[in-house]
């Protein structure tokens, strides 16, 4: 996902390749303006947005979700700093970020203080707390798609992963996609205080062009199915048997600043606790994935109204994913 200054990179191919050379050139030129460096030195991290056709909002309960990336996303152009300083500008937000990668980052204690700078600092925090040695910073320019930030396409995870990839690149760190999923989860869970699961970083880092990704969020294991199997016919190379419509209401939500998301996660865990207690399985951790569907049907009467809604959503989404799994027969790999 990191393209050198002279190359194309990213995107996964197909008729609507992302990022385009024009988009890459714009980002490179912005970095040159900021850093004064040669354009050939500029590297670009490309992190696409994602959609979740089935299994929404059950990843934090260890559910099985489906995901795919789209041909829009976040581009972070950067060059290595001469020292440990990070200097960043944004295409969507005003101001300049300046801090050092050798400064100790501490979790944000007030959600109201979260802004676009937080994701860069959060990436440093995640790497620091996982024992990675950061000596070099970056000088960079980050840009998403106007109007699509905080719109439900996981722009925050795309930004967090872009910062992780860039810092790893300039510090010569070799980090697997699986480890980067957990590092991004650390940004969200530990630094920002958002109790989400691994759907977003998994989709961004593990998706393949032309395939639907099935992610088991309890075991963190992906499976894939080629879309031509869904249509039961072979498509011309580079063409998918469907089109995707993104319907955006115009309402944007910055989840780390909203208390409602964490409240819903808490209610899911409380529902799991009540169901496990009623079935005599109190030793299992309180996530709904640990509740058998037969137990749920037998014991759901013990749940209060709010908890009942959370559990019903989880089990209904799991049923929908299971039906698609039977039809599409995903292949491991």
Q: Return the sign of the alpha-carbon dihedral for residues 18, 22, 28, 34.
A: negative
26 burial via Cβ count (<10 Å: 0-12, 13-18, 19+): middle
Answer whether 38's CB lies under 8 Å from 80's CB: no
Give CA–CA dist 99/62, Å, rounded: 36
DSSP class of 54? S
Checking 34-40 for CB contacts under 8 A at 24+ apart, the result is 34/87, 34/89, 34/139, 34/140, 34/141, 35/79, 35/87, 35/139, 37/79, 37/139, 38/5, 39/5, 40/5, 40/6
Residue 198 CB neighbour total at 10 angstroms: 25
DSSP class of 10? -
From the candidates 59, 149, 184, 200, give the one annotated as an active-site residue: 200
- Tokens at residue 232, please? 């039961």
Answer whether 196's CB lies under 8 Å from 261's CB: yes
Active site residue 200: yes
Report, as residue numbers or ranges, the catalytic residues. 200
């Amino acid at each position: 996902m990191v393209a050198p200054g002279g190359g194309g990179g990213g995107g996964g191919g197909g008729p609507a390749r992302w990022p385009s050379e024009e988009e890459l050139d714009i980002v490179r030129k912005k970095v040159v303006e900021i850093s004064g460096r040669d354009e050939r030195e500029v590297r670009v991290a490309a992190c696409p947005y994602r959609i979740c056709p089935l299994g929404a909002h059950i990843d934090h309960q260890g559910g099985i979700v489906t995901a795919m990336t789209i041909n829009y996303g976040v581009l972070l152009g950067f060059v290595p700093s001469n020292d440990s300083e990070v200097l960043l500008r944004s295409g969507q937000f005003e101001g300049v970020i300046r801090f050092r990668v050798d400064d100790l980052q501490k979790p944000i204690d007030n959600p109201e203080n979260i802004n676009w700078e937080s994701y860069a600092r959060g990436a440093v925090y995640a790497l620091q707390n996982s024992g990675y040695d950061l000596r070099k910073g970056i000088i960079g320019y980050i840009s998403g798609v106007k109007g699509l930030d905080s719109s439900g396409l996981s722009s925050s995870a795309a930004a967090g992963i872009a910062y992780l990839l860039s810092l790893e690149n300039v510090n010569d760190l070799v980090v697997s996609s699986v480890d980067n999923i957990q590092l991004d989860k650390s940004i969200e869970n530990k630094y920002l205080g958002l109790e989400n699961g691994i759907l977003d970083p998994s989709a961004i880092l593990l998706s393949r062009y032309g395939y639907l990704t099935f992610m088991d969020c309890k075991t963190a294991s992906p499976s894939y199915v080629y879309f031509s199997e869904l249509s039961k016919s072979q498509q011309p190379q580079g063409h998918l048997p469907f089109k995707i419509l993104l319907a955006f209401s115009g309402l944007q939500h910055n989840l780390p600043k909203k208390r409602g998301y964490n409240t819903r996660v808490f209610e899911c865990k409380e529902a799991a606790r009540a169901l496990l207690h009623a079935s005599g399985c109190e030793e299992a951790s309180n996530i709904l994935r640990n509740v058998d569907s037969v137990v749920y049907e037998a014991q759901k009467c013990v749940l209060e109204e709010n908890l009942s809604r959370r559990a019903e959503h989880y089990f209904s989404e799991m049923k929908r994913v299971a039906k698609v799994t039977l039809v599409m027969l995903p292949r491991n790999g």
